Amino acid sequence: MLNIDCPWCGKRHETEFRYGGEAHIARPEDPAALDDTEWAEFLFMRKNTKGYFAERWLHNNGCRRWFNVIRNTVTHEIVGSYKMGETPPKLPKSAGGAK
């Protein structure tokens, strides 16, 4: 069970959270201006990253805030979490083991 660092509440068990998929996919300003391919890209296409990945989490059984997490999808290492609108922390160069 992941130990997720909510930027408001601190570290809590994964069971308090809901997963929200890939982060930093903004809803297009003017969807009508997109052609079908562009719209489908926004709707359906997500990265299947092996390694460090920015993803959204909701502390739904806690403060009910959405925030972002950088997690290594191979090791589950969590590099850090940050509030919506904040700049992501710097990514480590390579996926290493725990210290």
| In the complex, least distance from residue 51 CB atom to another protein, rounded to whole angstroms | 14
Using CB under 8 A, which residues numbered 5 to 64 contact another protein?
13-14, 18, 20, 26-27, 30-32, 34, 36, 39-40, 42-43, 56, 58, 60, 64
Asked if residue 90 binds another protein (CB under 8 A), the reply is: no
Q: Report the length, in residues, of the chain.
A: 99
Q: How far is the CB of 1 from another protein (least distance, A)?
A: 4
- The rounded distance, in Å, linking the Cα atoms of 28 and 5 is 29
Q: What six digits make up the tokens of 80?
A: 């850090």
The torsion angles phi and psi of 69, rounded to 5 degrees, stand at -135, 140
